[in-house]
A and B are shown apart, each in its own frame.
Chain A
């Protein structure tokens, strides 16, 4: 199976091409093509995963195949350029590919029900296939350049899918916002890999880690810090870390399955995956790691606090994704890619499920405001129960998957000696439980608030939910038993023993959050409106997301447009002025000189002979001065 691994990204690409160019007209054939492509990838990636485990392929000795793609030989002092296209199979990429393909398969199945009757039905599945291809290319890449290729494609697909309903202005705006925000990160990433190539002479992950491992790279610590910080700009945008997180909540404008795949497996996971893949670089710079850890921690906390007050079901989930991504980035920053990737895996399943559940709800009640829902539990039992399972998993309740991965994170943070971050993360765990159950108690229980005719969704939508619920329950425990820590690791294997104290504390916080939510929103022991009144400033701050969007808007409107205005003026007045001035001078001189052009032949003859006289005078002066013999 390993030899076939290169086919994993290819199948969705073929599906995309077929749909776009051939089968676009027929909805059913397009769906079949998209499904066939992604299922084929799923099958191969399962095979690859199994074989990776069986053959004992480790992070240190991966299976790598590459073909030459671009060779520019060195000329004089300029280094050449060697770019490969290759595949790199190690536990990290094998697990990631399994996650991506399985989630993508389930989301595509779900979309058949969700997108039913949409005019852009076939286009949607084409984009989905392209999205899967891009992410798989990114994952399977064996060098930074190829990864960047996939990285940009992922950005493009997210743009296409977020703006899928582009006739809606808000969707078009959200797509632009996502794309532009990501551009900042991509730019940093690109500068980073260029600098990397200049210093290391290769893009290849393996070679870079060998060079660093030998300690003979001759690359200064400052340069390494710069490179790793620049590369981290990529994940900061793609995985929506503070302060580049602003695009992710707006990305909710796309169809819900898009949000689901975006949040679970493809877009945002790419950043975390890059952190894990390039960890050997980040590990070389203490400053970068510290920066990553604190950015992650800040994001986790800020996003969780935003989620506390949101009313839109998808926005709550979006901020929870932000918060969980903050966890992952933070724990990679403290030095454990095992915990980060573990959480990425489990989170992918339950977050995907939560989004699909939210989509199911939205599909049924046609609103996204949780205060307009209420009492859905009786009407939509499957959705409700899977949603609750997801929420429990997200809150980290034993024995669901979230518990295991969150415990890993807290443990790793604690062991690495980041006590402050550890307590922050624990607090965030409590907040997570609170806002998730706030959502559940408001949306699914209580009385019906508005007149809606909710009904359970079609099997196309519920079956993926049930499958995902299964993963959400068992993936954590299962992966721990399968020895995830001894598969995906950096340096030395990591055996996640459950630290009873830490597990207990986080569970207490999570349960505390749930109970609080139950008291406030189910039993209504306090008046929420009164609390809103009393804590008006804090509420406003959180409701407006710390005014970060407004700050950006101000920056854009005032600073950037100001600079642009200056540049414009400079261009118009100075640069154009010089060019125009030259032109005007020539034209005016010409306009004045043209009166010499009388058009009269006799005048020309006169001038010619006058000139001859003058020339002869000039040239023959010595002769003319001679004496007549």
Chain B
């Protein structure tokens, strides 16, 4: 099936020009906290993509029946139900990772990407575009997470997915893992660098004031 231009835009826009994390500044909280290793970052990225996509579909199906005043509560309940499902699945099949993610799986509920997409897209569009929008934004969030996780694990503990990738002879020559990379603040710095590179290449995204 050939994708029309609009579908392409909905699906691929969030990966670059309209990225939820580095352009719209949504979902920062979890993006930073779970990225000290690559594995939890990947699991988190998948979980968020699944939740955003399906919450988008459900809210989009319900959009004509939800009274405006209580829509936030309805959205939160739908999101919380989906997140509970994801969290139970993780507990059953990936218990260790679930332990590492701790409260951050639960916090997907208040992930601003989720609420932002529900408010901005699902309430005004049909189920199929909403589904694509959810997948697109989930992936846009995911690649930032994976990029940050990659650098933090590589520089912080010299491994990827828990396997050593920096050979022993480098350590013997005096190289040391940078313990600072494992600490929370470095995640913000890495995201800041990604923003820097991204905005240097997309001049129209640069802001005028501080």
**Does B associate with A?**
no
